[in-house]
Structure 1
């Protein structure tokens, strides 16, 4: 990545925070109200911890992948220009040479231990003398001690583990898990998750716009989709207006799925400002609602076990960023402290979720599907009312095309794995795949505008696999790969800064078990 596109930890932390704290925060108050604020606090803290454990698995796997691929590219062959990073199994040498690297550093004579100096002649310099004696290596009258050699070797190994090449989660799964079945299963899960993501966006945007433009707001809390949008237009119902806006939205922003698009830094900053202005306004206005005595008349229920099942899916969805970790880390100028940056972001997200949800539970008796809808019918300035009401539309419109393109690419990868073909005809590649990305979310959003239910399904089913199962699976096989390489090469040691804080295999098993718990809770919630 070009240096001009790289950014520092503070900027990276802002981008990660914007990704983590997204649409899920709008449905979390509703889920908290259904499960009870105390039970919600307990569950969100547990999911916060396990989600961070699995995100550190991703950073570790990404670094190991860079080292493994670098090593595969640099094993010694019979060519004079081959780069060697680590000792190979069966080699008598105790110090690895890096010919290509030393050429880049403009050193004339490479280190070649255990070769007869009389047999070596540098074709480019004409220097043909180099001797190895005792604990020193003599090269052009320069003595290199064992300590210096080990220091340089350690530096070379650390350099190999630097995250220089981006590996998406599917590529990591293919690299370490090996079996094509795991790779296919991953692409199925990520495709289902992205379909759910698009359906959530396709429902949230027209729903928020509909609630702002429909002026019939008296008794808003008890309104149904069959009620008229305007008092003098009984034939134009709220659901009809919603579906018209949905069609316009898909037609306008869905067209980008047929092209290559990316979210620029300027666009991220603008959407981030809109997001945080809206969030701060909602928190402040909700606190004012409580302070004026217009909050709930009776203290809300602390524990409601019947609402626990739906809480899992929403919270999983709200902490999801694992599939984007490679994209988030690559632009960082210095990636050594990526785990610490993610810890700060996750902790800040936890505190925000807790403050926003708990305040909402005490401020509003009936929490809407989208929390922003609660502010449409209360007594606040119209500017605040419309800004908060349109907030989902303003933010999600810019993300919808990006997710559609990501889904399109993952569908291509899935079918390449299933059909075993490297490419598709133009019609399928440019028409069928993009259209498939838009048709399913359109149909789902036409059927329902229940954003919270969509989040429960998306987060609890496919989201649990993406957030918990696959990071644990990938790091499990990545650590096995490291152990295999260490058997023939003791110098292949993973640097401490690369490793997850959670090295015990029991943490991996814990994440596997938690995936099963989340899946069971979500499925039970369908029938409870």
Structure 2
């Protein structure tokens, strides 16, 4: 959310509800494609009289293929293998389609990296910069980047931000040269911190509203906020690239779509609670929502006087995004190698060491130029995110259904949205979303 007047009730709920619904449709579609892909692999294994899974290599982009248990039948359309969209793209797309898929993934990951490199230093900057103007009339207006960071220093807020960007890259950038494994404990800690932070933000906002201290006066509709809402919601409901690792371990998949539907309802309710409490509590919303819980720009009013909550929430992106950054960077590096290198050709170490730099340098340049996290999220989610969440699943299922094995065997995980009309609707919806965002950016620039 941008730092502007708090927006909207009916508009927000309607748009977010639609985005959640379309995201759920494509989740069921990706699940169906996974099942077909598994059946194709088992058919190939049966034809080759092999039961061993493919070799697992560090260079495999995104997630690895891994067999969880021995197949009980050779071609049943069931989910027992780890399959990722990259593997499925190779199976159902031609060479051009596969390259376009990886290009979409790379653009999306570049956007992710840019957001991480901007969000962490911005949170640090806004936490440590203590200078406040003496005669500021509107304490809800943000301080400009050209204003001092400290009263005893000539450094501006933008200077401090760029120093933090450099420190962030120098600290975490070298991880892109290695491979990160066994991150379970790290992810559990990060997830726990995320839920704790979200819970604190909701409780603090509800307490403000209960005491009639809410300053937000959202209007019924504000069309200017819709384009960035598309990009943000793509991130909120995006789990498509993680479905193989989420779904495969589930032993009983007979009610899989009902479980996913309940999950999406829960996500929608949770984000609605977080968002509506925020827009009614704060007069203006910063692009990093956690920064709203610090004292205002005059250095006094705050939702809470407990400094632990203030600084924990303000630094929350630092903890969570920093732990995920190496994983995203390595994933981007591997996908860049897949996009540009031929798998059957040996390359020198010098060539391979070029890709870690290609993964880290462009996002760093973007972050040095701008710290507008909302714009980065909106653009990344609206374009590359829409491709991953809408276009790729729709095309994958279209070509997967053409495989002869679909006619030979029953797919117990076929999407309930199996009519071809749903594919057309999803593609049309993606065009509307991207077109809406593009027109908005053109008008805004003028």
Gaps of 5+ in 1: 1-26, 84-103, 106-154
Q: State the match for 1:268 in structure 2.
A: 187
Q: State the match for 1:479 in structure 2.
A: 401
- The answer to whether the aligner puts 1:467 opposite 2:389 as a matched pair is yes
Structure 2 length normalisation: TM-score?
0.87
Asked if the contact 1:52/1:343 (under 8 Å) is kept, the reply is yes
Structure 1 length normalisation: TM-score?
0.74
Shift of 1:326: 1.7
Aligned to 1:74, the other structure's residue is in SS state: helix
- The answer to whether the aligner puts 1:425 opposite 2:341 as a matched pair is no
Q: Kindly report which structure 2 residues correspond to 1:136-147, keeping only aligned pairs within 5 A, or say none.
A: none
Asked if the contact 1:263/1:402 (under 8 Å) is kept, the reply is no
1:428–1:330 CA distance, 2 compared to 1 (3 A): farther
1:408–1:375 CA distance, 2 compared to 1 (3 A): same
Aligned to 1:365, the other structure's residue is in SS state: coil
Aligned to 1:257, the other structure's residue is in SS state: helix
Which structure's CA Rg is the greater one? 1
Shift of 1:220: 6.8
Shift of 1:82: 7.9
Partner residue of 1:222 out of 142, 159, 164: 142
Asked if the contact 2:6/2:284 (under 8 Å) is kept, the reply is no
Gaps of 5+ in 2: 52-69, 134-138, 296-301
1:399–1:295 CA distance, 2 compared to 1 (3 A): same
Deviation per CA, 1:170-201: give whole Å up to 9, x if none: 22112112x11111111111100000001001
Q: Kindly report which structure 2 residues correspond to 1:285-434, keeping only aligned pairs within 5 A, or say none.
A: 285-296=204-215, 299-377=217-295, 378=302, 379-416=304-341, 422-429=345-352, 431-434=353-356
1:58–1:427 CA distance, 2 compared to 1 (3 A): same
CA RMSD of aligned residues (A): 2.3
Asked if the contact 1:195/1:437 (under 8 Å) is kept, the reply is yes
What is the alpha-carbon distance in structure 1 between the residues aligned to residue 391 and residue 397 of structure 2? Answer: 10
Deviation per CA, 1:452-475: give whole Å up to 9, x if none: 100110001111010011011111
Q: State the match for 1:283 in structure 2.
A: 202
Partner residue of 1:439 out of 361, 364, 367: 361
Q: State the match for 1:94 in structure 2.
A: none
Q: State the match for 1:55 in structure 2.
A: 27
Shift of 1:421: 5.1
What is the alpha-carbon distance in structure 2 between the residues aligned to residue 327 and residue 369 of structure 1? Answer: 31
Report the count of equivalent residues: 413
Shift of 1:223: 0.7
What is the alpha-carbon distance in structure 1 between the residues aligned to residue 182 and residue 310 of structure 2? Answer: 28
1:415–1:282 CA distance, 2 compared to 1 (3 A): same
